[in-house]
Structures are given as C-alpha cells and as structure tokens.
Amino acid sequence: MNKLEMLYEGKAKRVYKTDVKGRYWIEYKDDATAFNGEKKGQILDKGIVNNKMSALLFQMLELESIPTHFEGLLSDREQVVKAVEILPLEVIVRNVAAGSLAKRLGLEEGVIMKETVLEFCYKNDELGDPMINDYHIAAMGYATKDQVETIKNYALKINTLLQKFFIERDLKLIDFKLEFGTYDGKVILADEISPDTCRLWDANTDKKMDKDRFRRDLGDVESVYQEVLDRVQK
C-alpha cells in the first residue's frame, strides 16, 4: 500500500489517501491541544502511545463484535483504517463526574454516576462542540434514528468492555469520547481511544493518568502516557 496525498490534518492526526480503495493511512502526531485549541503544546511520543493503544483497544473490541475502522499497524505512529465517513457527533460516556459535567452540574470530581451517562455533542470546532440531544440530531439530520440507536448500544457495550479491560490494569475509566463513521452503509467505531480521549485514574491512588495532566499543567505528562501504554500492553 502506498501513501498518497494528505486529505486532512486534524489536531492530533494526519489522514492520507492510499492507492487501495476504501483505505486511509493515518499518522498520529505529538501535538496536543486543549480548551478547543486555546492551549497548544507537544507531548513527546504521544503519537506513538495513542497509535499503539488505539490499535490494541480496537482489536480487542473487534474480538467482542464491535465493528471498527482499524485494519493494521504500519509503524510506531501509523495505521491503516477503513475510509469511513465520520458522523458529526462526539459521543461521551461517563461513569464518574469529571471535567465539563462536574462543572455544569456543580459536582465534585469523583462522584460516581448511579447510571452510565451518554452525551452527544455536535462536532464543530467553531461552535465549541455544543451538546445536543436526539431531537437535534434528527432535526438537523446529523444521523438517522437507527444510527443513533446503534451508536448508543455500541457505546454502552464499549464502556462495559473498556471498564473491565482497564480495571484489570489498575485504571479506573472515568469518562471517554467516541466517534463513529459509516462504511458500506453500516455504522462502525472510528477515530481513537487513548489518554487524549479518555479520563483514566489510577485505581489505588486516583492519580490522573490522561490528558488532564496536560490540560491542567500537572506535570509528568510524557511518563504518564508511557505508563498507560505499558499497562495496556500487559
């Protein structure tokens, strides 16, 4: 497979066309942004951590009957994926209050949700990814009702699988963000699952082991990303 022209450069990845139909070539960068791009920086070798971790988790999910875009690793920072059309939704799953939910509802971070919370945001940087509900999604045609049902079922199943996977590695899954796309008319999991898109706390100490170390200038950013990859690869 050969890498052709770049299609798109996002905040953390570059997407290239390939000479194979239905396949894209993804390159993970070390660039980090937070607060809708207001804070910018680099996390050394984050691209390697996120590429490898996402690959491993997507393979685990595939084995559990979740269809994903992952096809194979190309190098430390690169992977081949199915060329999906991304649905303009960010799907957020929460087990414990943190971040914007804690702020919005006036909760202390760490309060356990009595039920898993699912949120949808409209993926639009200019608008700051506003939260939306099923009615907005249907009214605006961001996804069909059937697609939304499928996404909810996948998101909840992924949460159960990831919680189990992470707790076996002494990590609590606080919350995370998913993106889905369509391929061959079906909804499949796309984008990445990494410390950039999940909140993970050490199961014994509650130490933050994710991008909050960068967002909140907590230090040890690089070493924590490496530590998460080490635990995930166990």
Binding footprint of ligand UDP on the chain (CB under 6 A): 90, 92, 98-101, 129, 175-177, 197-199, 211
* Least gap, CB of 55 to ligand UDP (angstroms): 18
Q: Which is nearer to ligand UDP, 69 or 211 (CB)?
A: 211
* Least gap, CB of 99 to ligand UDP (angstroms): 2
User: Are the C-beta atoms of residues 107 and 101 closer than 8 Å to each other?
Assistant: yes
Q: Which is nearer to ligand UDP, 17 or 157 (CB)?
A: 157
Q: Which is nearer to ligand UDP, 30 or 129 (CB)?
A: 129
Rounded to whole angstroms, the Cα distance separating 201 from 51 reads: 20
Helix segments in the chain, DSSP class H: 46-63, 99-105, 134-140, 145-167, 212-215, 221-232
* Least gap, CB of 11 to ligand UDP (angstroms): 9
* Least gap, CB of 27 to ligand UDP (angstroms): 19
198-202 vs 131-132, strand pairing mode: unpaired
Q: Which is nearer to ligand UDP, 74 or 122 (CB)?
A: 122
The percent helix, strand, coil of the chain (3-state, each to 5) is 30, 35, 30
Please count the other Cβ atoms lying within 10 Å of the Cβ belonging to residue 41.
12
Closest Cα to residue 158, out of 92, 61, 51, 52?
61
* Least gap, CB of 54 to ligand UDP (angstroms): 12
Q: Which is nearer to ligand UDP, 55 or 121 (CB)?
A: 121
